[in-house]
Amino acid sequence: MGRGGGDPIVIGVELRNLSRRFGDFHAVDGVDLSIRAGELLVLLGPSGCGKTTLLRMIAGLERPSSGEIFIGGERVDADVPPRARGIAMVFQSYALYPHRTVAQNIAFPLEASRMPRPQIAEKVRWAAELFGITRYLERYPRQLSGGERQRVALCRALVRDPKVFLLDEPLANLDAKLRNTARDELKRFQRQIQRTTVYVTHDQVEAMGLGDRIAVMDHGRVRQIGTPQEVYEDPVDTFVATFVGQPPMNLLDVRDPGLPSGTLLGFRPEHFLPRDHFTSDEPIQIFCFAVRRVEYLGSDRYVYGSVAEEAVGEATVIAKLPATVATAIPEGEALEFAVPRRALRYFDAATGARRRP
């Protein structure tokens, strides 16, 4: 989807100044968000940031305290019940009906919409084939593994033929090994059906891997919305900078005469490498890195230490060296490390906001 073109963006879901308060607590606090038709938007944030409440408001399971919700251009926030919103939702727990077989689970929304029986059977079969779960149709949810249950839940959502898919941490209950394949399947599935999808997660790897765009949330507000690359490379503030990326961005309070006072210097651990790794013509900033500990992780080494140079205090700095960097890093010694200047980001120490020098 090209940006900056003249075409009006086709809106899948639009939220205007949406808020939800529980007593004095602002779970969602004035969110404006446009989700394009057909895109997969990830709501990413720590637990308690309001992402699930936001999703539940779109679903109609939670009433907004104020603000407006539009789905496919139609306003739905006030009195359109969940069943009339053209949405389907997959819950973190999958929320399968335990007393119904897989086939009966998938058929449930169709029965609720009073579809004739032969048509229901046909549609259930079609969806089950799409997800490769035809073998399990007569089983009960408790007889299935986590991954199989997740597919049943997706199947049940799919047969409703919704305008918008709402997924609430659908991979959180899978074990780590399965999560990668499930993520890939989910993405392929979404590409195949080309349906607007809102995906909630607290896992930034999932967000980066799945999202066409990511909305990073904190304290009920959207801090930044953009492609995974934009969010990773151009974080708008220190929250996004440290929440996205593992290990998080290093932030240093550097007293640099060339910078306005109260400026934090930020750089990603993978850009912080031994000085001899850079060619002489690349503009770099050099630090004296006092190495405290080295973690060997196979594909990478994490080096923990501090930079004393011109800094106030000694903040912990992490360097992430890929296995291809063979330099020996002895613990307890000070080494010359450097960051390419293009990888440096500046933030306001007081507000955390990005500064562009």
Partner 1 sequence: MIPRRTLADREDVLGVAMLAPALAYVILLVGVPFVLAILLSFSNATAGSLSFGWAGWRNYATILADPIFLRSLRNTAIVTIGSQALVVALATAAAQVFRAAFHGKRLARLVLLLPWAVPVSLAAIAWTWIFDSTFSVLNWTLKAAHLMHGWLYWLGDPGLALVAIIIVQAWRVFPFATVIVLAGLSSIPQDVVEAAIVDGAGFWRRLFKVELPLLVPVVAVAVLFGVVYTATDLGVVYILTGGGPANTTQVLPTLAFQRGVLGADLGQGAAIAVFLLPFLIVVAVAMLRLARRAEVGAR
115 makes contact with partner 1 (CB under 8 A): no
The residue within the footprint of partner 1, chosen from 109, 147, 226, 266 (CB under 8 A), is: 109
Q: Which residues of 44-64 are buried (b: 16+ CB within 10 A; e: fewer)?
A: bbeeebbbbbbbbbbbbebeb
DSSP conformational letter for 147: H
113 makes contact with partner 1 (CB under 8 A): yes
**Are the C-beta atoms of residues 324 and 315 closer than 8 Å to each other?**
no
95 makes contact with partner 1 (CB under 8 A): yes
Q: How many residues bind partner 1 (CB under 8 A)?
A: 27
Each residue 152-191 as x (binds partner 1 by CB under 8 A) or -, in order, gives ----x---x-------------------------------
119 makes contact with partner 1 (CB under 8 A): no
141 makes contact with partner 1 (CB under 8 A): yes
Q: Which residues of 259-282 are buried (b: 16+ CB within 10 A; e: fewer)?
A: eeeebbbbbbbebbbbeeeeeeee
13 makes contact with partner 1 (CB under 8 A): no
- What pairing do the DSSP bridges indicate for beta strands 284-296 and 334-340? antiparallel
- Distance between CA atoms of 61 and 42, rounded to whole angstroms? 19
CB of 162 to partner 1, least distance (A): 9
Binding window for partner 1 (CB under 8 A); candidates: 2-10, 11-19, 58-66, 299-307: 58-66
What are the beta bridge partners of residue 291?
305
User: N- to C-terminal Cα distance for the chain?
Assistant: 31
Which residue lies nearer to partner 1 by CB, 112 or 205? Answer: 112
10 makes contact with partner 1 (CB under 8 A): no
Which residue lies nearer to partner 1 by CB, 76 or 339? Answer: 76
Which residue lies nearer to partner 1 by CB, 144 or 264? Answer: 144
CB of 81 to partner 1, least distance (A): 8
CB of 32 to partner 1, least distance (A): 25
- Of the candidates 276, 278, 352, 337, the residue with the CA atom closest to the CA atom of residue 304: 337
- Distance between CA atoms of 290 and 224, rounded to whole angstroms? 34
The residue within the footprint of partner 1, chosen from 2, 5, 99, 116 (CB under 8 A), is: 99
CB of 102 to partner 1, least distance (A): 11
Handedness of CA 47, 50, 56, 61 (dihedral sign): positive
22 makes contact with partner 1 (CB under 8 A): no
**Are the C-beta atoms of residues 336 and 274 closer than 8 Å to each other?**
yes
- What pairing do the DSSP bridges indicate for beta strands 40-44 and 196-201? parallel
The residue within the footprint of partner 1, chosen from 2, 98, 257, 332 (CB under 8 A), is: 98
Give the angle subtended at the CA of 273 by the CAs of 268 and 275, to the nearest 5°. 135
The residue within the footprint of partner 1, chosen from 63, 83, 191, 341 (CB under 8 A), is: 83
146 makes contact with partner 1 (CB under 8 A): no
Binding window for partner 1 (CB under 8 A); candidates: 116-124, 135-143, 307-315, 321-329: 135-143
Which residue lies nearer to partner 1 by CB, 59 or 182? Answer: 59
Question: Phi, psi (5° rounding) for residue 71?
Answer: -120, 120
The residue within the footprint of partner 1, chosen from 140, 302, 304, 346 (CB under 8 A), is: 140
**Are the C-beta atoms of residues 196 and 164 closer than 8 Å to each other?**
yes
Torsion angle (degrees, nearest 10) of CA 179, 185, 186, 191: 150
CB of 168 to partner 1, least distance (A): 9
Q: Rule CB under 8 A: which residues touch partner 1? A: 59-61, 81-83, 87-89, 91-93, 95-99, 108-109, 111-113, 140-142, 156, 160
